[in-house]
């Protein structure tokens, strides 16, 4: 079986990129903090992970959240992109 780190390599890369671009620390992105800028960064990471082929349950596991939370983030980001 593939190791965990291999599976999450791209997800970690995305998280690093968003963290650097947004100035939001990685631990804040993974935290339960609900401040606007942190949530925006977290949603962006979730949506980008989904775009890169991760399933909703996989992204949920990566963030230790329910897949429906990820679905909400992805939908919200798609809506923002269209607006």
Which residues lie below 8 Å from residue 33, measured CB to CB, with a gap of 6+? none
Q: How confident is the model at residue 4 (pLDDT cuts 50, 70, 90)?
A: low
Q: Check whether 1 has a pLDDT greater than 60.
A: no
pLDDT per residue over 15-47, tens digit each? 999 999 999 999 999 999 999 999 999 999 999
Is the pTM here over 0.85, yes or no? Answer: yes
pLDDT value of residue 6: 82
| Mean pLDDT estimate for the chain | 93
Which residues lie below 8 Å from residue 37, measured CB to CB, with a gap of 6+? 22, 24
């Amino acid at each position: 079986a593939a190791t965990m780190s291999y599976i999450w390599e791209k997800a970690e890369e995305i998280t690093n990129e968003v963290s650097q671009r947004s100035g939001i620390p990685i631990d804040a992105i993974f935290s339960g903090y609900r401040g606007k800028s942190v949530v925006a960064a977290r949603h962006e990471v979730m949506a980008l992970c989904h775009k890169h082929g991760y399933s909703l349950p996989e992204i949920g596991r990566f963030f230790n959240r329910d897949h429906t939370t990820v679905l909400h983030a992805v939908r919200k980001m798609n809506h923002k992109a269209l607006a």
